[in-house]
């Protein structure tokens, strides 16, 4: 009887562990999504502030460094996409050809998201990115 009781206790612990592990994974994904949305909102504020003073979006390369020098300062350090391929993956950023519209995005949960923006401000997406824009979707 003691061996059977021990096996039942081990089985119950294994079931509880699997439930807890699934919950933790779900909470981690929720935290990454919340972080991406917060970072993107911050980048949107910084880009909108830049647009007010300059009339044009910064060029795609090194845009976060350019924004960090803006006054008032909105971003103080580089912001990285929690769903990027590496821990140093910056949030992708695209501008329209006329540099009046922008979209900044995270590649998203499936890590396959992409967004582009036209001169008319329309955002075209591929996959499932999380994004902010001064255009529309």
**Tens of each residue's pLDDT in the chain, 137 residues:** 688 888 889 999 999 988 888 888 889 999 999 999 999 999 999 999 999 988 899 988 789 999 998 888 889 999 999 999 998 999 999 999 999 999 999 999 999 999 999 999 999 999 999 999 999 87
CA dist 104 and 15 (Å) reads 42
pLDDT at 104: 97
pLDDT at residue 71, as a whole number:
84
**Residue 68 located in a structural domain:** yes
CA distances to 2, 13, 105, 136 from 122, rounded to whole Å, are 68, 52, 14, 5
**Is 52 among the domain residues?**
yes
Q: In the chain, what is the straight-line distance between the N-terminal and C-terminal CA atoms, in Å?
A: 65
54 domain-assigned: yes
C-alpha 66/C-alpha 101 separation (Å) is 17
CA angle, residues 89, 55, 69, in degrees to nearest 5: 50
Give the model's pLDDT for residue 102: 96
Determine, yes or no, domain membership for 19: no
d(CA 68, CA 50): 10
- b (16+ CB within 10 A) / e for 24-53: eeeeeeeebbebbeebbebbbebbebbbee
Q: Is the dihedral of CA 45, 46, 52, 56 positive or negative?
A: negative
Full domain range(s) for residue 119? 37-133
pTM: 0.83
Residue 4 lies in a domain: no
Chain CA centroid to CA 51, Å: 22
Domain membership flag for residue 119: yes
How many structural domains comprise the chain?
1
Cα separation, 127 vs 32, whole angstroms? 18
Flag whether 112 is in a domain: yes
pLDDT confidence of residue 25: 82
Is residue 126 in a domain?
Answer: yes
């Amino acid at each position: 009887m003691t061996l059977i009781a021990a096996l039942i206790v081990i089985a119950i612990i294994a079931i509880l562990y699997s439930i807890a592990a699934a919950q933790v994974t779900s909470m981690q994904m929720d935290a990454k999504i919340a972080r991406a949305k917060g970072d993107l909102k911050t980048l949107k504020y910084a880009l909108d502030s830049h647009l007010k003073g300059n009339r044009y979006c910064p060029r795609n390369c090194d845009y976060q460094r350019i924004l960090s020098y803006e006054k008032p300062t909105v971003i103080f350090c580089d912001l990285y996409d929690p769903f990027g391929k590496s821990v140093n993956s910056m949030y992708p950023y695209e501008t329209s050809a006329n540099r009046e519209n922008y979209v900044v995005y995270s590649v998203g949960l499936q890590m396959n998201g992409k967004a582009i923006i036209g001169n008319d401000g329309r955002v075209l997406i591929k996959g499932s990115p999380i994004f902010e824009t001064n255009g529309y979707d």
